[in-house]
Amino acid sequence: MLDVKNISAFYGDAQALEDVSLSLQPHQVTALLGPNAAGKSTTLRVISGTVAAASGSVSLESQDITKMSPAERVNLGIVHVPEGRRLFGSMTVEDNLILGGYSKRKDRKTTQRLEKVYDLFPRLAERRKQEAGLMSGGEQQMCAVGRGLMADPRVLMIDEMSLGLAPVIVTQMFQIVRDIADTGMTVLLVEQHVKHALEVADFATIIDGGKTRVSGTAEELRNSDTVRESYFGS
């Protein structure tokens, strides 16, 4: 569905990615894992086009999108829910959600998409008129994922969804991600919460030091002693 091939990327002179490759299978959840500063967020930025690839390619269903703008990629269905939620805190939940569908506003399906988001996250329906900045961390994360869904993604990328959330909310959010993939969406999850991520994911890739280290099914990675000892500390 989406192929990242031999990507390198820089911030100024500092190289953040070297030869990173990653494949997403349609309608599956892939977890992108690795230690701090491994290059996980940068990989998502290269896919969404907010950081340029210095070499390598990104393609969506065999169409090369490496040189496309972020807006063109959103129109193709690549949607990035960034780390830290980045909501408009003084706007209502509903207005934040509607903004997520901005690029699709001409297709007049905003209401249907809002209803779908509210079905997935009933908590957001209850709080639709509340200022987003006044909600709990978990509710804000639901709003950030919901806003991403409003753009009608084919590939939904979520960065550090579980960061700072209570365990019970983390479990709920992972279940919702699974449900989203089961509706036919392709999901790429960047996660520090390795155990949960490998439980919900179908595939996983580990990057470290800006390089791809291991890729396989989530089950293979869960059962690999080498992977566990090298990357997950047990």
Ligand X SMILES: Nc1ncnc2c1ncn2[C@@H]1O[C@H](COP(=O)(O)OP(=O)(O)OP(=O)(O)O)[C@@H](O)[C@H]1O
Does 60 bind ligand X (CB under 6 A)? Our answer is: no
Rounded to 5 degrees, what are φ and ψ at 26?
-60, 140
Other CB atoms closer than 10 Å to residue 225's CB: what's the count?
7
- Please name which of 68, 31, 33 lies closest in space to residue 47, comparing C-alpha atoms: 68
Any contact of residue 49 with ligand X (CB under 6 A)? no
For position 11 contacting ligand X by CB under 6 A, the verdict is: yes
Residue among 36 and 226 whose Cβ is closer to ligand X: 36
Q: How far is CA 147 from the centre of its chain?
A: 12
In the block, which residue shows the tokens 């009608």?
152
For the CB of residue 83, give the shortest distance to ligand X in the complex, in Å. Answer: 6
Q: Which stretch binds ligand X (CB under 6 A): 38-46, 53-61, 132-140, 172-180?
A: 38-46
Q: Does 96 bind ligand X (CB under 6 A)?
A: no
Pair 127, 93: CB distance under 8 Å: yes
**Minimal distance, residue 32 CB to ligand X, in Å:** 8
Residues 6+ apart with CB under 8 A from 62: none
Q: Does 127 bind ligand X (CB under 6 A)?
A: no
* Look-up of token digits 């550090």: 160
Nearest alpha carbon to residue 172 among 161, 160, 188: 161
List 2, 7, 33, 41, residue binding ligand X (CB under 6 A): 41
Contact status: 47 vs ligand X (CB under 6 A): no
Q: What are the structure tokens assigned to 73, written together?
A: 């990629």
171 phi and psi, to 5 degrees?
-60, -45
- To the nearest whole angstrom, how small is the minimum distance from the Cβ of residue 66 to ligand X? 18
How many residues sit close enough to ligand X to count as binding (CB under 6 A)?
11
CB of 179 to ligand X, least distance (A): 25
Contact pick of 30, 42, 205, 212 for ligand X (by CB under 6 A): 42
| Among 8-16, 65-73, 112-120, 224-232, the segment contacting ligand X (CB under 6 A) | 8-16
| Binder among 30, 40, 187, 227 for ligand X (CB under 6 A) | 40
Does 34 engage in binding with ligand X (CB under 6 A)?
yes
> Which two structure tokens, joined as six digits, stand for 117?
């988001």
39 near ligand X, judged by CB under 6 A: yes
Q: How far apart are CA 70 and CA 80, in angstroms?
A: 10
**Please, which residues bridge with residue 59 across strands?**
3, 64
**What residue ranges bind ligand X (CB under 6 A)?**
11, 14, 16, 34, 36-42
